[in-house]
Amino acid sequence: MTICYVGLGSNLSQPEQQLRQALSALKDISGVQLLQASSLYRSAPLGAPDQPWYVNAVAQLETSLEPLALLRELQTIENSQGRVRQGERWSPRTLDLDLLLFGEQTIDSEALTVPHYAMHERNFVIFPLAEIAPSCVIPGIGSISALLATLPQEGIERME
């Protein structure tokens, strides 16, 4: 069994409900146990400034699945909740599920990069991750506590 972390984000079609539904769907994946989830956070969007703010969270899972199998399950959840991939990065979306960390593994393939390539630069990932895993260390990057000190608190607020 491997401990992993998944980032959740939505800014379309009732974002809070999208995240709650996604958390429920994570529990239904065979070979996956949802251990805990962070509070919901409201955050400013990346990309086009004229889009709605996001709602974000991080979930801690324990899984017997391999990383690519888990990624496929995450994409299935995204698709079932109306995710449309438009090719444009950081565009509005009903649901985005990112595999942030998979144990202590480093994966760099065409299909998957773990740790997630820019997670350490994003307050909407690090703040919720620090809430549920304050002693977490990102392979090749460093500790969550050290990252917290470098990230701005502007543009993010805890909702719960």
| Residue of 28, 96, 122, 158 with catalytic role | 96
Give the other-Cβ count within 10 Å of 133's Cβ: 18
Q: Is the pLDDT of residue 135 over 80?
A: yes
Confidence at residue 84, expressed as pLDDT on a 0 to 100 scale: 66
| Residue of 83, 89, 122, 158 with catalytic role | 83
- Quick: pLDDT tens for 47-93: 777 889 999 999 999 999 999 999 999 999 998 887 666 656 566 78
Q: What percent of the chain has pLDDT over 70?
A: 94
3-state secondary structure at position 59: strand
Confidence at residue 79, expressed as pLDDT on a 0 to 100 scale: 86
Instruction: Look at the block and give the residue holding tokens 């709605």.
Output: 52
- Quick: pLDDT tens for 80-108: 887 666 656 566 788 999 999 999 999 99
Out of 1-10, 11-20, 80-89, pick the least confident: 80-89
CATH fold label, 2-158: Alpha-Beta Plaits (3.30.70)
| Residue of 28, 50, 93, 158 with catalytic role | 93
CA distances from 69 to 21, 57, 76, 110, 130 (A): 20, 22, 11, 14, 26
pTM summary value: 0.92
Half-sphere exposure of 12 (CA within 13 A, CB side): 14
Task: Tell me, yes or no, if 28 is annotated catalytic.
Answer: no
Higher local confidence (pLDDT), 32 or 117: 32
Confidence at residue 153, expressed as pLDDT on a 0 to 100 scale: 87
Task: Tell me, yes or no, if 42 is annotated catalytic.
Answer: no
| Residue of 20, 28, 72, 98 with catalytic role | 98
Structure tokens that stand for 13 in this block: 């079609």
Out of 12-21, 27-36, 76-85, 151-160, pick the least confident: 76-85
